[in-house]
Amino acid sequence: MSVTVYVPCDTTALAMGADAVADTTRQAANQRGVELNLVRNGSRGLFWLEPLVEVATPNGRLAYGPVKAADVDSLIDAGLFEGKTDHPLALGPTDDIPYLKNQQRLTFSRIGVTDPLSIDDYRAHRGFAGLEKALNLDGQAIVDAVKASGLRGRGGAAFPTGIKWQTVHDEPAGQKYIVCNADEGDSGTFADRLVMECDPYLLIEGMTLAGLAVGADQGYVYLRSEYPVAHRIFSEALARAYDAGYLGRDIRGSGRHFDLEVRLGAGAYICGEETSLLDSLEGKRGMVRAKPPLPAIKGLFGKPTVVNNVLSLAAVPFILDQGAQAYADYGMGKSRGTLPLQLAGNVKRGGLVELAFGITLRELMEDFGGGTLTGRPLKAVQVGGPLGAYLPQSQWDTPIDYEAFAAFGGVVGHGGVVMFDDTVDMGEQARFAMEFCSVESCGKCTPCRIGAVRGVEVIDRLRAGENVETNRELLADLCDTMVDGSLCAMGGMTPFPVQSVMKHFPDELTHRPT
Ligand SMILES: Cc1cc2nc3c(=O)[nH]c(=O)nc-3n(C[C@H](O)[C@H](O)[C@H](O)COP(=O)(O)O)c2cc1C
Ligand code: SF4
């Protein structure tokens, strides 16, 4: 008897004991004389079920989870290898799990399905189909497709990707670079990591397409050092892509070239800001550069450079393969396509949810997230990382859309959604925003470097009940100064969470909730 079992190999599954589950499954199969094909796939993104073990059957894959090593024997006794489902951990067909079934996975279509390092598996699931088409196109045609798709940057600022590419394309021929921002510093985010750990060829394909589009033959991935598993898997994928002729000189006999390397960051939030990232890539301390000149004109080593987030680049292969319209058909208003949302914080069912723009936060948090893990009422949610506003209940019916969020001072950012129950102390959260900025500021401009330190002090005085009205006014003024006077969005957005607390939870700046 031969059976194929899938045990994920990404950071989340490993943290939950996936290696032990894989080892135990191998030993048990050996003892029982079962020929086992054990595939270390990526995570499906249903984190509360990790390690999520799957078994292949003639009718599709069946899921079991969360599986611990100690569960393996009882699962096998109950018929795991035969695809039986008479076990408390049996979840039925993987594709029918509502959390997965109700998503619109374009970028994440292969994640959890394939063996991350198998090029054959990648190709069998439409991998490199976009690249193969693009190898016959000129750069402008690729740029046009990305423009027509309506794709906007998924790293935070939501700048139209095609327009950025056009600017680099239009610079005179010469050395140009593609830089992938894989610093993923936002709280509650992990989508970039999942791409790199679970579908690394997708990013390689997306960056190669960017290179072909703008005329760049060198790319760098700037990866946060806190992601050692992503570093290992992605580096191995790079080596295999070179061996298979998908990178390097004369890609698949096309006469086109693209080289790609990974560089590790050193743990500074500000190195996710694109100009600071470029300084860091150049071997300097990461300090924000004044713009203009834009990186698209004068970027890495002073050369025209595309800087894009992992998710922006990972969306492009679908666009080239299925067509710009197929991507643009999803979404609402000027927010086209899908967004890989990341549910985190105090949530019952945390994980990756890729959906077209337009779903409301409430639907996301309730239908997918299942409410809070503690079972207590949800009180606030922070979307878009540590610089995003705290959204109270009255804003949860807003559709997730860049413009709809901007209308009330919110940001969609990288799609991180961090939930808080009613025990959260919003005054403490406001203080944390200023404290975070004071620690992570690059120090180049005064409103941020000094303002954040003063911000912590003013909030401390408010919390101590000192001159409450005066200090409230001072805090409001300070926030305005930081928003208006900071050189980059670090100092410019730190006030957003603070202002949202001042507006929606004003009493908690001076009194702790009981
Ligand atoms: C303080 C700060 C931190 C940032 N961190 C990240 C990050 O971790 N990853 C990212 O892709 N973009 C980050 N950004 C946004 C980048 O500066 C830039 O807009 C982005 O890499 C552009 O790619 P995109 O157009 O594909 O989004 C950050 C911006 C700021 C101001
Ligand atoms: S706002 Fe802060 S992080 Fe940005 S340039 Fe100024 S000091 Fe540096």
Q: Is the pLDDT of residue 186 over 90?
A: yes
Query: How many helices and strands, by DSSP H and E, does the chain display?
Result: 21, 16
Q: Is the pLDDT of residue 123 over 80?
A: yes
Q: Is the CB of 494 under 6 A from ligand 2?
A: no
Residue where the block lists tokens 């921002």: 181
Residue 514's pLDDT band, with cuts at 50, 70 and 90, is low
Residue 511's pLDDT band, with cuts at 50, 70 and 90, is confident
What ligand is nearest to the CA atom of residue 450? 2
pLDDT of residue 379: 98
pLDDT tens digits along 299-320: 999 999 999 999 999 999 999 9
> CB–CB of 382/390 below 8 Å?
yes
Give the Å distances, CA to CA, from 51 to 16, 40, 72, 97.
6, 11, 12, 15
Q: Is the CB of 452 under 6 A from ligand 2?
A: no
> CB–CB of 114/41 below 8 Å?
yes
- CA atoms of 326 and 328, how far apart (whole Å): 6
Question: Residue type for 299, please?
Answer: G
What ligand is nearest to the CA atom of residue 274? 1
State the average pLDDT for the chain: 97
* Ligand 2, pocket-test mutation among 183, 270, 438, 482, most atoms within 8 A of CB: 270
Ligand 2: centre distance to CA 164 (Å): 23
Residue 512's pLDDT band, with cuts at 50, 70 and 90, is low
Residue 174 CA to chain centroid, in angstroms?
32
Joined tokens for residue 182:
């894989």
> pTM for this structure?
0.98
Residue 1's pLDDT band, with cuts at 50, 70 and 90, is confident
Ligand 2: centre distance to CA 486 (Å): 6
> CB–CB of 107/311 below 8 Å?
yes
Q: Is the pLDDT of residue 217 over 70?
A: yes
- CA atoms of 432 and 242, how far apart (whole Å): 45
Q: What is the DSSP string of 313-361?
A: HHHHHHHHHH-HHHHHTSEETTEESEEEEEEEES-SS-EEEEEETT-BH
pLDDT tens digits along 41-99: 999 999 999 999 999 999 999 999 999 999 999 999 999 999 999 999 999 999 999 99
pLDDT of residue 289: 98
Nearest residue (CA) to ligand 1, atom 6: 272
Residue 325's pLDDT band, with cuts at 50, 70 and 90, is very high
- CA atoms of 493 and 483, how far apart (whole Å): 6
* Cis previous bond, 66, omega within 30: yes
Give the burial class of 501: count Cβ atoms within 10 A of its Cβ; 0-12 exposed, 13-18 middle, 19 or more buried: buried
Residue 266's pLDDT band, with cuts at 50, 70 and 90, is confident
pLDDT tens digits along 429-452: 999 999 999 999 999 999 999 999
What ligand is nearest to the CA atom of residue 491? 2
> CB–CB of 164/177 below 8 Å?
no
Ligand 1: centre distance to CA 278 (Å): 12
